[in-house]
């Protein structure tokens, strides 16, 4: 998988495809697309238009219903 510097983590992290990220989280790609749209996970859009999600940010609860340890960002 490609590695990029994540704007949120500010570290070089593995970025995974939307399909792989959804699989890791056990959710639909449609739900993950909503997370990306609301910036609840960091992502990079490649010149081809493909969206790659930061694997580290997948571990950080964000958005509505996030665990109390999360940032609680709402977009």
Bridge-based pairing of strands 12-17 and 3-5 is: antiparallel
Give the Cα separation of 6 and 59 in Å (integer): 14
Residue 66: pLDDT band by 50, 70, 90 thresholds?
A: low
* Nearest alpha-carbon partner for 51 in 11, 10, 25, 22: 22
Q: How confident is the model over 19-44, as pLDDT tens digits?
A: 999 999 899 999 999 989 988 888 88
Q: How many domains does the chain have?
A: 1
Mean pLDDT for all residues in the chain = 79
Task: Residue 48: give its domain's CATH number.
Answer: 1.10.1660
Q: What are phi and psi of 21, to 5 degrees?
A: -60, -45
Q: Is residue 73 part of a domain?
A: no
Please give the residue that has the higher pLDDT: either 18 or 10.
18
pLDDT at residue 73 tops 50: no
| Residue 65 belongs to a domain | no
**Domain that includes residue 13, residue range:** 3-59
pLDDT value at residue 63: 63
- 9, 54 Cβ separation under 8 angstroms: yes
On whether residue 27 sits in a domain, the answer given is yes
Radius of gyration for the chain, computed over Cα atoms and rounded to the nearest angstrom: 12
User: Does 64 reside within a domain?
Assistant: no
């Amino acid at each position: 998988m490609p590695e990029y510097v994540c704007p949120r983590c500010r570290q070089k992290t593995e970025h995974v495809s939307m399909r792989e990220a959804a699989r890791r989280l056990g959710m639909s790609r449609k739900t993950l697309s909503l997370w990306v749209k609301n910036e609840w996970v960091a992502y990079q859009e490649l010149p081809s238009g493909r969206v790659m999600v930061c694997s580290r940010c997948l571990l950080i609860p964000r958005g509505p219903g996030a665990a109390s340890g999360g940032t609680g960002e709402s977009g």
